[in-house]
Amino acid sequence: MKHTLLTFALITPFLFVSCALAEDSTSAKDPSSLSFKSIYWSDGDSGRLDGLKFRLANIDAPETGSLKQRGGAKCEAEREIGYEAKAFLVEFTRGKEIKIVRDYGEDRYDRLVVDLTANDVDVAKAGIDAGQLLAWPHKKGRALAPKPDWCAR
């Protein structure tokens, strides 16, 4: 009996902590149910929403990184249009309510892959319509077409 009471006394605190942790994880808000006022664009297809790293789904933007940088622009013209694409999105989303309308999960860089709206207007579609972004379809994280060649444009 003493052994059973001792075991119970040792395990009980862990049960309470486990229950509290489980409650916290289930009560966390789904990002797609939130709206954001603060958006930072790293480039034309990724950035941060109130600190949450994201990438637009099924979209490619010209790279703004250095020609020498891995994953950077392939030519100087790509860098230039990359900065134009980023500037377009900064202005397009400035002061608007940003919503995640679809969450595809995280990519290999731990960014949430999403569809966004700014005052209920699809951000990716606006970028494509303005000629700043290109469609780059994916399925389950795999590209269905080659990455667009911004230097050939």
With respect to residue 24, please indicate whether it lies within any of the assigned structural domains. no
How many domains, in total, are found in the chain? 1
Question: Is 15 within a domain?
Answer: no
Domain membership flag for residue 7: no
Domain that holds residue 54: 34-139
Which pLDDT score is estimated for 10?
43
41, part of any domain: yes
Per the domain annotation, does 107 fall within a domain? yes
**Angle subtended at Cα 103 by Cα 88 and Cα 130, rounded to the nearest 5 degrees:** 20
The CATH number covering residue 81 comes to 2.40.50.90
Q: In tens digits, what is the pLDDT along the chain, a chain of 153 residues?
A: 555 444 444 444 433 333 333 333 333 456 656 789 889 999 999 999 999 999 999 999 999 998 888 889 999 999 999 999 999 999 999 999 999 999 999 999 999 999 999 999 999 999 999 999 999 999 988 999 999 999 998
The pLDDT assigned to 140 comes to 85
- The answer to pTM > 0.85 is no
- Dihedral sign of CA atoms 78, 60, 112, 105 in order: negative
